[in-house]
Chain A
Amino acid sequence: MKKPDRRDLFPGALEMMVLRTLRRQPMHGYALVQHIKRTSDDLLQIEEGSLYPALQRLLKEGLVKAEWGISSTNRRVRTYQLTPAGIKHLNREVSNFERMLDGVTRVLAGGEA
């Protein structure tokens, strides 16, 4: 059985999006993944589950912290929140990413000329 072609995200991309989303406001896992899917207009194919190992990594690095609570829909949810270290990390990652994207874009544009 051959898997359908799916463009993988580059390493660290999911983490970056999670951090960016959490900077807006603290969220729990389900809401996070729905938000990312919605905002990206479903252009990114993300397996919902893949969010959780990423969240564990961020927890371990101390970039986010988590707390159990009750949601507005009266559900027990674990809400994630950015730490100061997380904010610093996000800023660094985003500027790195933009530089990279800029470089790649220039090369691609140059290829056309």
Chain B
Amino acid sequence: MSWIRQLFSRRRLYSDLSEEIHEHLAEKIEELVVSGMPREEAAHAARREFGNATLIEERGREVWQWPSIESFVADIRYALRMLWKNPDFTLVAVLTLAFGIGANTGIFTILNGAALRPLPLPNSDQLVSIYQSFRGHVRRNVYGNPNLFSYSEYQDYREHNHVFSGLIAYQPDVQATLGGDHPQQVSGTLVSCNYFPVFGVQPALGRGFLNSECSKPGANPVVVLSDTLWRSAFAANPSIVGTTIALNRSPFTVIGIAPPGVGGSEIVPSAFWAPITMQTAVERGNEMLNDDNLSWLVLIGRMKAGVSLARVRAELEVIAGRLDQDHPGRKTTLAIQTTTFFGGPQEHTLALGVGAAILGAVGLVLLIACANIASLLLARAAGRRHEIAVRLAIGANRARLVRQLLTESFLIAALGGALGSLLAFWSAEAGVQLLLAHLPRGAPPLVFSVSPDARVLIFALLLTLVTGIAFGLMPALEASRPDVNAALKEGDASYQGTLVTGGRLRRVLVGVQVAVCMVLLIAAGLLMRGLYRAQTIDFGFDTKDVAIASFDLIRQGYSQPRAAAFQQQLMDRLTALSGVDSVAEAATTPLSDSHFGTGVSIPGREGWQPAEYNIVSPNYFSLLGIPVVRGRGFLKSDSLMTNGGLSF
């Protein structure tokens, strides 16, 4: 264990070395004096022959050290002392950085929680989402999102792959009215019966689905409730298991309650889960299971141990290629990635796009902070010029000095980064709460975790390092320029010269700050203006004093004639109310988030033009103040499907 002995006897080793060098010089001088040289001249000559004694002694000592670590510790000690001696500077720099780094880390934390972090499910790194997109000759029905799968496609992928221990399919965000004394609208999920086992979730009460419950369409009206719904609608009563509840007026038997905190794999937590084969019972009027050309199911697989994403891709692409053979001219591309919230290609692009824009903005804020501290450091470097010149003069090399100055910068950055990250983690949580509380009414209750994970910590650390270099490097190089002579003889002309160049760098920094500030100000101004415009823009229709009520009678089990009768009666009675001027019907409201699309063929033009459409009652246009520019609007006699009229 000689290195331990070295560690303890190091002081001795150093003093030996020091004495030895001293003796060497003494002996040399003695010899020169004996040979007839004046003593003073001999001392000079001896030193010249010997070289830089300070540096050599340091080199000699370094032999015994783990040089990088030990001089690093020394640098940190020295840097701490310097920061402690300048509390104002330290405070300003650390707070500025805390703000800059904190803003970035905070935004990244939210982005990470929303779009990057794997799902809060057991071994969620094995879960992969599969999305498809088509090229070529495609006619496809879409319910929700064009990247989803049909039921028969799901069955194909499930039966023919060897890479998943299980592949699930589900329809997200299925709206249902939960019956009872106080009916309420809830958002649930229709799932393949392997849903819970593949996700690794065991119901807290009762049981999950049996595979046989997904074998026959419409045969197994069973449902698993979320813990949240169980508590809010059924007072956490355990005897609810085994009883029957109504979803969109269809009876379902409760077979289990999911564990607390489990809301599925979507950003909108699911209130209930029912077998996918019960689709028509929940969504009456829609037959989706048998439509082989309908995009409506999300696919998530759990990879077998030891299977790579590349292998999953390769194997599923073979299946996709086989499916394409039934659709001449169609080419399917699969997007396969670790499952996250906002996992679909469209959502992902949106979340990352928005996130990148905001990160860009806060990145500029950090850039301003860096420029600010860099100019402070430059100003301080002018004050430390003498100190640095002395150290250069007694033999410190420049790289060592730059490293020491950089250590100071890193220390400032680390303090700022730590403080900023703490602020960020705290404010991300608070910020998300605030954001969720201010979502428009009727928006779904989003939940995502914004607690920091390894990814966030690495981001904060890297950001801190980069920041330290960004504001520290230039001032350090500038401060350690080896014009020792000039700096020692203050007042020398060339010393003035260096002050001027330092001043130029500082002026550049100020310029950068002003420029970046302008960019940010203009961007913020435009955003504000855009927001104002969005609030005050003329939509082309009149929303003043207009109230909207929406309902879906077909989904509630009304037949078409009964629904029409109900609607007519409702309209008549509403119109009779005092204070109601006019009542109109429409399949969707303008600028709402739901719309219908179809293809229109125009005589004389090739192919189909995509067009959105709405189904409305005759007085729709007059109620919203939409002028009919040519021709006429609908008449009462046009309705009842006897006449196809279109209005643009």
Contact = CB atoms under 8 A, between A and B. Distances in A.
Nearest to A77: B23
Contacts of A76: 19, 23
B63 A49 contact: no
B17 interface: yes
A76 B20 CA distance: 9
Given A29-B24, A30-B27, A50-B56, A57 B63 contact: yes
A49 B56 contact: yes
B20 A49 contact: no
Contacts of A68: 16
Contacts of A57: 63
B63 A60 contact: yes
A21 to B, nearest CB: 16
A56 B64 CA distance: 8
Contact of A53 (B2, B13, B60): B60
Contact of A56 (B17, B26, B49): B17
A97 interface: no
Interface in B331-385: none
B23 A50 contact: no
A76 B64 CA distance: 24
Given A47-B50, A77-B23, A78-B16, A52 B28 contact: no
B16 A48 contact: no
A24 interface: no
B17 A52 contact: yes
A75 interface: yes
Nearest to B55: A49
B53 interface: yes
A52 B56 contact: yes
B57 interface: yes
Interface residues of B, number: 26
A49 B51 contact: yes
A94 B388 CA distance: 44
B433 interface: no
Interface in B1-46: 2, 6, 13, 16-17, 19-21, 23-24, 26-28
A52 B57 CA distance: 8
B52 A30 contact: no
A55 B50 CA distance: 15
Interface in A62-113: 62, 66, 68, 75-78
A49 B52 contact: yes
Contact of A30 (B6, B23, B51): B23
Contacts of B53: 49
B27 A52 contact: no
Contact of B50 (A49, A53, A66, A75): A49
A59 B13 CA distance: 10
A57 B16 CA distance: 14
Which size class do A's interface residues fall under? 20 to 34
A61 B6 CA distance: 12
A66 B57 CA distance: 17
B327 interface: no
A53 B16 contact: no
Contacts of B63: 53, 56-57, 59-60
A16 B100 CA distance: 55
Contact of B21 (A47, A52, A62): A52
Given A49-B56, A52-B17, A53-B56, A75 B49 contact: no
Contacts of B27: 30, 75
Contacts of B64: 56, 60
A19 B58 CA distance: 23
Contacts of B52: 49
B567 to A, nearest CB: 94
Contacts of A49: 21, 50-53, 56
A83 B584 CA distance: 106
A66 B60 CA distance: 15
A59 B17 CA distance: 11
A78 B20 contact: yes
A48 B46 CA distance: 9
Interface in B302-332: none
Contacts of B61: 56
B268 to A, nearest CB: 66
A29 B56 contact: no
Contacts of B28: 30, 48
B175 to A, nearest CB: 76
A82 B53 CA distance: 26
A55 B20 CA distance: 11
A77 B56 CA distance: 19
B49 A52 contact: no
Q: Which of A47, A55, A56, A57 has the most CB of B within 10 A?
A: A56
Contacts of B595: none
A18 B179 CA distance: 96
Given A53-B63, A57-B63, A60-B64, A48 B24 contact: yes
Interface string B616-640: 0000000000000000000000000
* 4 A-B pairs with least C-beta separation: A49-B51, A49-B56, A47-B51, A56-B63
28 contacts: A30-B24, A30-B27, A30-B28, A47-B51, A48-B24, A48-B49, A48-B50, A49-B21, A49-B50, A50-B51, A50-B56, A52-B17, A52-B59, A53-B56, A53-B63, A55-B60, A56-B17, A56-B61, A56-B64, A59-B63, A60-B6, A60-B63, A60-B64, A66-B16, A68-B16, A76-B23, A78-B16, A78-B19
Interface of A: 29-30, 47-50, 52-53, 55-57, 59-60, 62, 66, 68, 75-78
Given A48-B51, A56-B63, A78-B23, 15 more contacts: A30-B23, A47-B51, A49-B51, A52-B57, A52-B59, A52-B60, A53-B56, A53-B62, A56-B13, A56-B64, A62-B2, A75-B23, A75-B26, A76-B23, A77-B23
